[in-house]
Chains A and B, each alone.
Chain A
Amino acid sequence: MIEAVAERCYHCGFAVPVGADYRQMIGDDLRPMCCPGCAAVAATIVGSGLGSFYKFRSGLNARASQDTYSGENSDADRKDNNPYLDWDIPEIYSEFVSHNGQGLRSIRLFVDNITCAACTWLIEKHLGRLAGVESVNVNGTTMRAEVTWCPERVKLSTLLNAVSLIGYSASPINDSSDIPDIKDQSRKLLLRLGVAGLAMMQAGMVAIALYAGSFQGMQQEWQTLLRLVSILFVTPVVFYSAQPFFSNAWRSLKMAHLVMDVPVALAISLAYLASLWATLQGATFQGAVSNNTGEVYFDSISMFTFFLLLGRFAEQRIRHKNLLLLNRGHLLPPVITQVFPSQPALAENAKSAHSDKSAHIYKSARSAISACGDAIVPIKTLQKGDFIRVDGGQTIPCDGVIEFGDSQVSEALLTGESRPLPKQPGQTVYAGTINGANPLVIKVLAVAGDTKLSTILKLAERAAIHKPHWAGLADRLAGWFIAALLIIAASVAWYWYLHDPQRALWITLSVLVVTCPCALSLATPTALSVASGLLRAEGFLINRGHVLELLPTIDRVIFDKTGTLTEGNLRLLHIESFDINSSISEQQILGWAATLEQGSQHPIARALQPCATDQLGQIEQQQFVTGCGVSGYINGDCFALGKPRWVARLFNISETEFINRQQISAADNKGIEVALARNGQWFARIYLGDQLRDSASSAINQLRERDLHVSLISGDPSPTAAEIIQPLALNDYQFSLQPQQKLQVVQQLQEQGKPLLMVGDGINDVPVLQAADISVAMGQASELSQINADVILLSNDLTVLPVAMAVAAKTRRIIKQNIGWAIGYNLVALPLAAMGYVPPWAAAIGMSVSSLLVLLNALRISRGASC
């Protein structure tokens, strides 16, 4: 094997880091794995006898979550440390679970990361083998799983954990409002399509006999019989299959706003009525000379309806799939610990959770709860005046004032400020912010609609009103098209009425049928469906219809900073060891640091923990000091990690010595510096900071190559913000902007008449996302931003943006070709029809060939982009 070729993870396809060895036996081969997570998932799959999954799958799996598996979590560990325990609380699951007669429960789960049909098989088999599971049914299209289980034998949390052990994530969902609608709509459309398809074939067969008859001569009796049979087939098509076109056309006429469905409905109904009349006339004049009773267009009507429904079905499938992907439920239930307000108990509660640090923090919190008789309650039941406890790492669910405990709170989602702020009793905290360190007991001041969060939402609602309206190309054409069509048809009818009144009706009708905008109304939706399906595979999930058509006209892209261009959380940047002999490796320093931070949820701890490959011994007498750092003994040595000033005071050593040892200049210092000392000696300096996303730089370069103006507006007031974005080729940037100011910036730009695209993630971006012509929310963005965005970048890969621009440009080109072709065809066919040279069979062939060409042209979008 050639060494230069980087090995790829057999599970997820990610490059295997140099020196890493997580290989796993799969089948008869030892396969490379990129991380402990993937290795553990693969081991679970093989261990449960489902290794043949890897033979069946047609795509790579998603990479295992890196948080869950950091350190040396063994399989057994993960089974014990079930993170889904809160789902076992009756008040919480009751909303999602339905009971059936035999004491069984069932639930619907959203399963993420289903990549191919084999995934559904794997999940069904794996869950189905758990004792107590009655039935599992995974739907790969809707990404939903229906599980029925026996509550006495297995718990809900065990089921959820079992799914996560094989590398997927399951979250209970309650989409009683959405899913039945989606299911209903897609079933209905499929039925209409099926009826139109079957009728089309039958009517086509009969039509061949009729055409043959009109060439070779046919007795009136048989012609009438065949026409009557056609009526039988086509009537359900008109009254059942084509019904959506009629109702859409009627609705748009009532609103005095013409859409493509109007000419469609007009053509179908006129062709049907005239054919009906021709048939009846033929039947009443039995024995008269044949072929002077007018033409029938039954085959055209059914084919026409079938093609249009096919286009609509494809469009609907894409739209529904995006909708289903958006409604993904909560992985962990929206709950909070409520503390019952007797003052001593409050203090006790805060203290007990604070001191018991050595154990897994979550478990310790749980035991403290049961000791004090507190309860875990759903967030929506909270009321003003309640007391709640928010543990480190939890999101604060309401506005409130701190009663006990001091901690650091990250307000990044609310303000864009990337550094956590210290908070003490008496200070106010806001809903949507994240408690970074110690447990806090908070008195609830405002919930739901009264929080600071909701004022931002109101701003967003107002912004939405001013959002520029964008009408699709096809609908803009529709108005012109109908006007032109009606004028032409009327003048043709008038001309023939003067010259040959016998033929006037039939020639006018053939003009209407020939010009029926089948190809024209397929031109846009088919191309858009293909393009949005293609982009979804890239993780670019289109939420609203106008995006693809508007994207090529964008000339300015605006980014948010924290969480958008940067990753939004602290990462290890650099280590400086003070060890002169350099006998101690960076790995060892990180190992000590990670051991010291064991069990903490502080952002610094979470940045350090995954960096250490192995932990060095047990930590004893671990002590956290809020806003300062952590100290403790490892293998008899005394360590301290934290702010240089605090460490200096703790060991009584000189802080200036630490400062003087700085190796890189202060200008390069882009993050937070943390000091590590051992036994009263300075030992190392660790830099942590928010990092640019890997994709940020190349994405911005590619956008600039497309002649776009790229700017940044950030809410972050901290001085390091400007330094982080230094390597990026931005046209301009602005910092320290409040949500209102961001909105103003965007609206001013829009007043200059240039459409812009905004990429953001936080709640502070919601108003500006609402206002932007196209808004893109990151995949890990707050739920609120995602709901309000036009596009969700599920992959979090910014380089998908230029790809989407390219696909959109290509789509626009294809749409133009399609429309050009459709109009060209009409222009050629129209004079011929007006002169009376187009018999029904020619109209039928012309219409279906032009529709097929449009469909095939739309498929070209996916071919070019995949290479």
Chain B
Amino acid sequence: MESLYLLIPISLVFIVIAIRVFFWAVNSGQYDDLDSEGERILFDNDEPQEQQQLETNKEIRVQVESKKEQP
């Protein structure tokens, strides 16, 4: 039972940390929009397209550069 003298202070430390993190999160505005932030991650799947575009851009650049080198 004496272990309580160690375990309870440890749990107290964790609670204090949790409350500090919670205060930081609220004060930095992370809870200001409770309606749309939760779903935001679902929408951003257009990256493959952009990725593709970047790749085609790269290809074009390579082609242009290779043309430059030819003459």
Within 8 A of A (CB), among B1-56: 1, 4-5, 8, 11-12, 15, 18-19, 22-23, 26-27, 31-40, 42-46, 49
**Complex Cα spacing A120 to B44, Å:** 12
Q: How close is A639's CB to chain B, nearest CB, in angstroms? A: 52
Judging by beta carbons under 8 Å apart, are B32 and A195 in contact?
Answer: no
Within 8 A of B (CB), among A665-702: none
**Complex Cα spacing A142 to B46, Å:** 26
Are A198 and B22 CB-contacts (below 8 A) given A225-B8, A232-B12? yes
Judging by beta carbons under 8 Å apart, are B22 and A194 in contact?
Answer: yes
- Comparing A183-191, A405-413, A711-719, the segment that makes contact with chain B is A183-191
A118 at the interface (CB under 8 A from B): yes
A285 at the interface (CB under 8 A from B): no
**Complex Cα spacing A138 to B35, Å:** 11
Judging by beta carbons under 8 Å apart, are A225 and B33 in contact?
Answer: no
Are A117 and B4 CB-contacts (below 8 A) given A187-B26, A187-B27, A194-B26? no
Are A117 and B26 CB-contacts (below 8 A) given A141-B35, A202-B11? no
**Complex Cα spacing A339 to B71, Å:** 67
Q: How close is B35's CB to chain A, nearest CB, in angstroms? A: 4
Judging by beta carbons under 8 Å apart, are B26 and A198 in contact?
Answer: no
Closest to B22 in A: A194
Q: Which residues of A contact B49 (CB under 8 A)?
A: 49
Judging by beta carbons under 8 Å apart, are B15 and A198 in contact?
Answer: yes
A52 at the interface (CB under 8 A from B): yes
**Complex Cα spacing A194 to B44, Å:** 30
Q: How close is A321's CB to chain B, nearest CB, in angstroms? A: 9
- Range, interface on chain A: 20 to 34
Closest to A225 in B: B4
**Complex Cα spacing A476 to B45, Å:** 55
Judging by beta carbons under 8 Å apart, are B26 and A222 in contact?
Answer: no
Judging by beta carbons under 8 Å apart, are A139 and B32 in contact?
Answer: yes
Judging by beta carbons under 8 Å apart, are A139 and B33 in contact?
Answer: yes
Judging by beta carbons under 8 Å apart, are B15 and A202 in contact?
Answer: yes
Contact among B12, B23, B33, B42 with A191 in the assembled complex (CB-CB below 8 Å): B23
Contact among A142, A187, A233 with B33 in the assembled complex (CB-CB below 8 Å): A142
**Complex Cα spacing A726 to B42, Å:** 53
**Complex Cα spacing A187 to B30, Å:** 10
Q: How close is B8's CB to chain A, nearest CB, in angstroms? A: 6
Judging by beta carbons under 8 Å apart, are B46 and A222 in contact?
Answer: no
Are A195 and B39 CB-contacts (below 8 A) given A139-B32, A190-B31? no
A56 at the interface (CB under 8 A from B): yes
Contact among B5, B19, B22, B33 with A141 in the assembled complex (CB-CB below 8 Å): B33
Q: How close is A717's CB to chain B, nearest CB, in angstroms? A: 48
**Complex Cα spacing A202 to B18, Å:** 12
A6 at the interface (CB under 8 A from B): no
A728 at the interface (CB under 8 A from B): no
Q: How close is A218's CB to chain B, nearest CB, in angstroms? A: 10
Q: Give chain B's interface secondary structure class.
A: helix
**Complex Cα spacing A190 to B49, Å:** 39
Within 8 A of B (CB), among A129-166: 138-142
**Complex Cα spacing A225 to B33, Å:** 41
Contact among A117, A183, A194, A202 with B32 in the assembled complex (CB-CB below 8 Å): A183
Are A198 and B40 CB-contacts (below 8 A) given A140-B33, A141-B32, A225-B4? no
Judging by beta carbons under 8 Å apart, are B39 and A141 in contact?
Answer: no
Judging by beta carbons under 8 Å apart, are A121 and B33 in contact?
Answer: no
A347 at the interface (CB under 8 A from B): no
Q: Which residues of B contact A142 (CB under 8 A)?
A: 32-33
Judging by beta carbons under 8 Å apart, are B18 and A198 in contact?
Answer: yes
Judging by beta carbons under 8 Å apart, are B32 and A121 in contact?
Answer: no
**Complex Cα spacing A392 to B37, Å:** 44
Q: Which residues of B contact A187 (CB under 8 A)?
A: 26-27, 31-32
Contact among B18, B23, B34, B43 with A121 in the assembled complex (CB-CB below 8 Å): B43
Closest to A52 in B: B46
Contact among A140, A190, A194 with B36 in the assembled complex (CB-CB below 8 Å): A140
**Complex Cα spacing A232 to B42, Å:** 41
**Complex Cα spacing A140 to B38, Å:** 11
Judging by beta carbons under 8 Å apart, are A222 and B1 in contact?
Answer: yes
Contact with B along A211-225 (1 / 0, CB 8 A): 000000000001001
Judging by beta carbons under 8 Å apart, are A190 and B8 in contact?
Answer: no
Q: Which residues of A contact B19 (CB under 8 A)?
A: 194-195, 198
Q: Which residues of A contact B18 (CB under 8 A)?
A: 198
Q: Which residues of A contact B44 (CB under 8 A)?
A: 121
Within 8 A of B (CB), among A50-85: 52, 56, 58
Q: Which residues of A contact B35 (CB under 8 A)?
A: 117, 140-141
**Complex Cα spacing A191 to B18, Å:** 12
Contact among A117, A183, A190 with B39 in the assembled complex (CB-CB below 8 Å): A117
B8, B35, B44, most chain A CB atoms within 10 A: B35
Closest to B18 in A: A198
**Complex Cα spacing A117 to B34, Å:** 10
A273 at the interface (CB under 8 A from B): no
Q: How close is B23's CB to chain A, nearest CB, in angstroms? A: 6
Closest to B4 in A: A225
Q: Which residues of B contact A190 (CB under 8 A)?
A: 26, 31
**Complex Cα spacing A202 to B15, Å:** 9
Judging by beta carbons under 8 Å apart, are B36 and A120 in contact?
Answer: yes
Judging by beta carbons under 8 Å apart, are A56 and B43 in contact?
Answer: yes
Contact with B along A764-785 (1 / 0, CB 8 A): 0000000000000000000000
Are A222 and B4 CB-contacts (below 8 A) given A56-B43, A187-B26, A190-B26? yes
- Apart from A141-B35, A225-B8, what are 6 other A-B pairs with CB-CB below 8 Å? A52-B43, A117-B38, A140-B35, A142-B32, A194-B19, A195-B22
Binding site for A on B (CB under 8 A): 1, 4-5, 8, 11-12, 15, 18-19, 22-23, 26-27, 31-40, 42-46, 49
- 21 A-B Cβ contacts within 8 A? A49-B49, A56-B39, A116-B36, A117-B35, A117-B36, A117-B39, A120-B40, A121-B40, A139-B33, A140-B33, A141-B33, A141-B34, A141-B35, A142-B32, A187-B31, A187-B32, A194-B22, A194-B26, A195-B22, A202-B15, A225-B5
Q: What are the nearest 3 A-B pairs in CB distance? A: A140-B36, A117-B36, A117-B39
